Amino acid sequence: MSNEESKVLQIISNFPNLDGRIRQIAPKRIFTDPLESGEFHQLVSYIHDEMGFFRAHHAVGVDDGENLGFIYIFSDEDNTILAAKQTVPKENPEIESLNKLYPSLLLHELELADLFGAVISGLPDVPHYPLPDGWPEGSYPMRKEWKPEYFNKETMTYEPPEEVQKNG
């Protein structure tokens, strides 16, 4: 049994609901299926506190249509990467910051807020990043429905045609 398989089995023994939803996909690579917020945070606390996944490298957002997904990349001292995906409904994209456990995620989570519209509790009150001051509120350029041709750079406004506004 590989080291990664042992880690997956350790996680499943503590979180039986993840059986079939977490797997080794390649040497040194463990991925989860999309997890709900509660199970995501339980898993992250566990891998940090009990398994030595002390490094967080990146947080990536994805627009899955009706949901937003947030993939966090962690690693341990063996350089095994664990990618955990959290999914939330687009109409209520609330997640909790991992900044207290992993300070390196601050800028990544600010990007999730600015670019995808994630509402992240526990983030410090800092300037927007990476979008410029004056960026229109509620305009999230990494969402599938956002169209660059409707953004007016001179006025810093998002101006979709009336028929697009009515049809969403």
**Phi-psi category of residue 96: left, alpha or beta, with phi > 0 → left and psi -120 to 50 → alpha:** beta
Give the pLDDT confidence of 58-71 residue by residue, as tens digits.
999 999 999 999 99
Question: What is the structure's pLDDT at 35?
Answer: 97
- The CATH architecture annotation of domain 3-130 reads 2-Layer Sandwich (3.30)
Residue extents of the structural domains in the chain: 3-130, 131-168
Q: With beta carbons less than 8 A apart as the criterion, state whether 4 and 24 touch.
A: yes
Q: Helix or strand or coil: residue 112?
A: helix
Taking the model in full, what pTM does it have? 0.91
Give residues with Cβ within 8 angstroms of 73, minimum separation 6: 56, 57, 58, 59, 60, 81, 82, 83
User: pLDDT 10s per residue in the chain (168 long)?
Assistant: 899 999 999 999 999 999 999 999 999 999 999 999 999 999 999 999 999 999 999 999 999 999 999 999 999 999 999 999 999 999 999 999 999 999 999 999 999 999 999 999 999 888 878 998 888 888 999 999 999 999 988 888 888 887 665 555
Q: Which residue has the tokens 């001051």?
A: 133
